[in-house]
Amino acid sequence: MSVWHNAAAAVPSLLGLEGELVVASITVQPYQLEELLDALAQVPFPVNPQIYHQSGVVEFPAYANRMPEVRAALEASGLNSSVLSVRSMLDALHTTEADARNNPGAAPESVLPYKQDGPVC
């Protein structure tokens, strides 16, 4: 007995009205990070990026149906859209979990959280 409607074709995923929830990952040279963030500010949906400064990687969750808009924003800013890679959110979570189990002593790359000085308007 299976809880899946069609157990043979069932692949777990996180689905919403705009498609599958994915992790978008964009790799640029570290000196291009500001240009990349400016480009991401132009997409018509909120982007909450995780920035890895040393490696020039920016990752953020989004829906798969929104990836053409991200590609268009990259191209409009002069960046090549081939720097964008997309993977399933569940795959990304499983990979991160497996990496932590296989290499427990490794220090993660530092992530600098956004901090705003002064009053929030």
Q: What is the pLDDT of residues 47-56, one digit of tens each?
A: 999 999 889 9
38 inside domain:
yes
Classify residue 108: in a domain, yes or no: no
Residue 119 belongs to a domain: no
Residues spanned by the domain of 69: 16-102
Q: Which residue has the higher pLDDT, 16 or 37?
A: 37
How many Å apart are CA 60 and CA 85, to the nearest integer?
A: 11
Instruction: Please say if the pLDDT value at position 43 is more than 90.
Output: yes
pLDDT score of 33: 94
The count of structural domains within the chain is: 1
Which run of H or of E encompasses 35? helix 33-40
pTM for the model stands at 0.70
> Which CATH number characterizes residue 69's domain?
3.30.70.100
Confidence at 57, pLDDT banded by 50, 70, 90: very high
